[in-house]
């Protein structure tokens, strides 16, 4: 999809790793989820335009089923025909009002087109219906940041975090820490990452997020130690870990990448 990536991915860096989610507010992400295996192989815009014409004709004569509607939507997004995609989404929302993903896509489409007020209105409506849906909350936070309400977003998310108990607040805690980092509250973010790492002793995401932040700040030794700690949570001794190995390779931390291999050789000697 020919969308501008700098406007699509709301939180660069840490949030994409820490939460394990590429936020649902990205139309690129949405399109990838919607597209059938067959349509993913279609790169010819002329073919896609012909398919859209055929699907629109079927829609007009009332013979387009739900699968066809989804095919039409995915092709409209691929072809950047956003006005028609918006109309399609409004139709899907009217037919399936309990399906939050259509409303979220419409909100992101409004945001993509610069209609931040419309996107906020749509997102707030979704939050009232689906207050526990993390993807909706992510888009709300992004819109708050883009409209200068970063501090208010932190305060709101902190209340949500504090209202949850151990075992059910990791995802929202990671989101809060990411937001604190985005708004310059680096010490608070680091403290929360460590708190989450201690509270969720079997989950490596808080440690990976903290390692990313330390590496951003030029603290390579701390980042290396955190990756080692994260590796111990993710894999058995001696096994490789693609995510941690990839980060170590990107940062030039060869000792992290070779640690698994050396442990394996020692175990076999």
pLDDT value for 234: 74
pLDDT value for 23: 40
Over residues 29-39, the pLDDT tens digits come to 455 455 454 54
Two structure tokens written together for 260: 């698994």
Rg over alpha carbons for the chain, rounded to the nearest Å, is 22
Per-residue CA distances from 42 to 1, 3, 10, 69, 200 (Å): 11, 17, 27, 18, 43
Distance CA 23, CA 8 (A): 9
Over residues 153-172, the pLDDT tens digits come to 999 999 999 999 988 999 99
Q: Which CATH class is domain 7-147?
A: mainly alpha
When pLDDT is averaged across residues 97-124 and rounded to a whole number, the result is 91
pTM: 0.73
* Greatest mean pLDDT range, 19-28, 39-48, 213-222: 213-222
Per-residue CA distances from 223 to 59, 144, 254 (Å): 54, 30, 13
Quick check: 126 and 100 in contact, CB under 8 A? yes
Per-residue CA distances from 264 to 188, 236, 239, 268 (Å): 38, 10, 8, 6
Over residues 47-89, the pLDDT tens digits come to 888 999 999 999 888 888 888 888 898 889 888 898 999 999 9
- Choose among 123, 202, 216, 130: nearest CA to 170: 202
Residue spans per domain, the chain = 7-147
| Cα four-point dihedral sign 203, 172, 161, 150 | positive
125 Rama class: left (phi>0) / alpha (psi -120 to 50) / beta: alpha
Quick check: 15 and 178 in contact, CB under 8 A? yes
Angle at 262 between CA 231 and CA 256, to 5 degrees: 40
């Amino acid at each position: 999809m020919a969308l501008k990536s700098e406007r699509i991915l709301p939180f660069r860096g840490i949030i994409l790793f820490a939460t394990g989610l590429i936020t649902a507010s990205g139309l690129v992400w949405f399109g990838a989820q919607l597209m059938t295996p067959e349509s993913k192989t279609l790169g010819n815009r002329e073919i896609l335009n012909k398919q859209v014409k055929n699907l629109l004709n079927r829609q007009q004569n009332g013979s387009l089923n739900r699968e066809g509607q989804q095919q039409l939507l995915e092709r409209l997004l691929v072809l950047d025909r956003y006005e028609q995609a918006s109309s399609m989404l409004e139709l899907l929302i009217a037919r399936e009002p309990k399906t939050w993903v259509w409303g979220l896509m419409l909100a992101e489409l409004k945001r993509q087109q610069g209609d931040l007020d419309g996107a906020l209105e749509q997102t707030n409506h979704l939050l009232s219906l689906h207050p526990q849906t993390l993807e909706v909350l992510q888009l709300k936070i992004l819109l708050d940041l883009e409209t200068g309400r970063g501090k208010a977003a932190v305060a709101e998310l902190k209340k949500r975090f504090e209202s949850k108990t151990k075992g059910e607040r990791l995802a929202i805690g990671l989101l809060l820490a990411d937001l604190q980092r985005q708004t310059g509250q680096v010490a608070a973010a680091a403290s929360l990452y460590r708190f989450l790492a201690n509270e969720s002793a079997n989950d490596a995401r808080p440690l990976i997020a903290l390692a990313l932040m330390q590496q951003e700040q030029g603290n390579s030794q701390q980042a290396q130690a955190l990756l080692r700690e994260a590796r111990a949570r993710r894999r058995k001794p001696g096994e490789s870990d693609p995510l941690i190995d990839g980060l170590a390779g990107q940062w030039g931390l060869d000792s992290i990448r070779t640690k698994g291999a050396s442990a394996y050789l020692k175990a076999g000697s």
